[in-house]
Amino acid sequence: MSHPDLVASMTRPSFYHHRPDTVDLIQTHISFIFIAGDLVYKVKKPVDFGFLDFTTLEKRKYYCEQEVLLNRRFAPDVYVGVSEITENGEGILLPDGEGSVIEYAVTMKRIPEEKMLHRLMEAGRITADDVRRVGRYLAQAYGKIPSDAKARKFGSPDAIATNVMENFDQTSKYKGGPVGEHAFEALEAWSRSFMDRYETLFDARRAEGHIKDCHGDLHLEHICIEDDAVSVFDCIEFNERFRFGDVASDVAFLSMDFDFNGRGDLGDAFVGAYVDESGDTSLRRVLKFYKVYRAMVRAKVTSFMLDDEGLDAAARDGAFRKAKQYYDLACRYVTHED
């Protein structure tokens, strides 16, 4: 980090003005997340993975601001704002205090973990009515997002093909591992064929206004259902190509996640509610295509873990099996006739 004492300081309850009883630290490959009582502070790591670049303080500030701005479209009551982490003359770090700014943090209200969709599913407490609520909520949220000239560029056949074929380019080395060579080639051929045969459908989707600045990472772990609210958070702020696209791609991501977890019935209920609320009847014609795409995205990301030399044998085996499940799911989509 930019300051050697930052993480240690932010793990102390005394660091925060509201004095939480405890502070829990969670790390991802791109963020430090500090759960401080009823508030959560997310600090971006100074990393550059090509598809994202947080290497300067200015960039981290910008992407913190973008994260808040973009996510308020889906969870307006969750994202509090961007906090300045400052250092005074005594070398003490303070959130939004006096002194020089040495870091920025996205500040959020804490979301009840037990109300997250994946937790509700694990507990057997999720219902079709729950996911219909999510479908209607998302239809209303996407309905407020314009399909402007910038967005429409991401719905061209070339732009779609770039995203789809990138998955196959980046996962071809895993043939013979979590995915068989024949299955891999069948998936690639099916995807190419669909894009070739239905180019006019993609053009119609663009003309009808379905290409938008979307969420980009819409799955079970990013949705919370409470008694009086639905919150959808953690949209992709760091790369427009991963976020802009057909709303059907976002809908397909969540539908695919239900399928992956053995609850295709809930995925069907979700899609049905979304279509009914939005009136987007042509979405179903591209749904399978985007479900294959999203399954391949998850297969790719999970396959990348196999290249991590730091993983122990158990973790590597788990990543292998999970990646295989995603490849297998994609194959079931292309071999199943609707």
pLDDT at 43: 96
pLDDT at 72 over 80: yes
pLDDT tens-digit series, residues 142-162: 999 999 999 999 999 999 999
Read off the pLDDT of residues 276-315 as tens digits, 9 standing for 90 and up: 999 999 999 999 999 999 999 999 999 998 988 888 999 9
Q: How confident is the model at residue 89 (pLDDT cuts 50, 70, 90)?
A: confident
Q: pLDDT confidence of 59, banded at 50, 70, 90?
A: very high
pLDDT of residue 338: 63
Q: 270: domain CATH number?
A: 3.90.1200
Separation CA 321–CA 325 (nearest Å) = 6
Write out pLDDT tens, residues 201-218.
999 999 999 999 999 999
Give 98-110 pLDDT, tens digit per residue: 888 999 999 999 9
Asked whether residue 1 is assigned to any structural domain, the reply reads: no
The predicted structure's pLDDT at residue 5: 85
Q: Kindly state whether residues 153 and 79 are assigned to the same domain.
A: no
- The total of structural domains in the chain comes to 2
Q: Are 254 and 270 in contact (CB under 8 A)?
A: yes
What is the mean predicted confidence (pLDDT) over 83-109? 86
Does the residue 61 lie in any domain?
yes
Model pLDDT, residue 99: 85
> In the prediction, which pLDDT does 311 show?
82
* One domain, residues 143 and 234: yes
Mean pLDDT (the chain, rounded): 94
Domain boundary residue, one of 48, 83, 110 = 110
pLDDT (0 to 100) of residue 230? 95
What does the pLDDT read at residue 337?
67
Mean pLDDT of 117-135: 95
> What is the rounded average pLDDT of the residues 251-261?
97
Q: Both 22 and 122 in a single domain?
A: no
Decide if pLDDT at 1 tops 60. Answer: no
CA-nearest of 177, 176, 118, 165 to 322 is 177
| Residue 182: inside a domain | yes
Give residue 39's domain range. Answer: 6-110
For position 288, what pLDDT does the model report?
A: 98
Judge if 264 and 215 occupy the same domain.
Answer: yes
Q: Which H, E and C letters describe 120-182, residue by residue?
A: HHHCCCCCHHHHHHHHHHHHHHHHCCCCCHHHHHHHCHHHHHHHHHHHHHHHHHHECCCECHH
Q: Are residues 192 and 330 located together in one domain of the fold?
A: yes
Domain co-membership, 153 together with 12: no
One domain, residues 106 and 119: no
pLDDT tens-digit map of 193-203 = 999 999 999 99
Task: For residue 180, tell me if it sits in a domain.
Answer: yes
Query: Residue 21 pLDDT > 90, yes or no?
Result: yes
Same domain, 144 and 55: no
Question: Which tokens sit at 325?
Answer: 């499940």
Q: What is the pLDDT of residue 79?
A: 97
More confident of the two residues 90 and 219: 219
Per-residue confidence (pLDDT) for residue 331, from 0 to 100: 97
The per-residue pLDDT for 51 is 85
